[in-house]
Amino acid sequence: MAKIIRKAPPKSKPAAPKRLKKAAAVSGPVRAAKKPVRIKPWTAAEVHEAFSRFRKANPEPKGELEHLNPYTLLVAVVLSAQATDAGVNKATRALFQVADTPQKMLALGEEKVREYIKTIGLYRNKAKNVIALSEKLIAEFGGVVPRTRTELESLPGAGRKTANVVLNMAYGEHTMAVDTHVFRVGNRTGLALGNNPLEVELKLLQVIPPEFMLHAHHWLILHGRYTCLARKPRCEVCLINDLCRWPEKTV
């Protein structure tokens, strides 16, 4: 008599844990992403009106970094990276009394520069840059702060923003220095939308009338620093709240 071989029934898949079943039920089908909100571009008349208001309220805006000449301005801007203007000023008041030229800064030396600026973030690397840029100014530019963007950006510790500030404040060039405040104001108001500082800079240069360009970056910095704050913008006292495109305005 032949031996009968019985096949074992196929193993059933283990039931999914209740937690997974619940999560799947909650998640449901994949939803389409929300369409980005389209912001209506500012008209030329609106841009002119905004900067007319800034000018009327503050005809001669000043940068808040204290300096004595183009060289100390350059040093102050280099030191201001990831630091507040107030913190930089506190350190440089004493420093610039003893070293207001590249030659005097070199004579002071990196170790002593560190002592003067040790209250500023990244002070060790910044002291190294200050000495290095001073050496380069003497060796390649006769101790004079250069007047072109390319030359300024070649200095240790100096980038595009530094070059824009120096060209504008020391030499009266119509440049746009985009720091965190200008970047925020440009994007939040819809005046100059951009994914990075360069995009915002180029857009602002495109839309701001030449008559306002000398002081434009100061007006925008001050507006971002004291009115269009990062966490709690003061829309109730904003000079341009009726022009601003931000959908979450508090007025």
Catalytic residues: 161, 179
Q: Could you give the CA distance from residue 76 to residue 207 in angstroms, rounded to a whole number? A: 29
Note the maximum CA span of the chain.
113
Looking up tokens 């204290």 gives 66
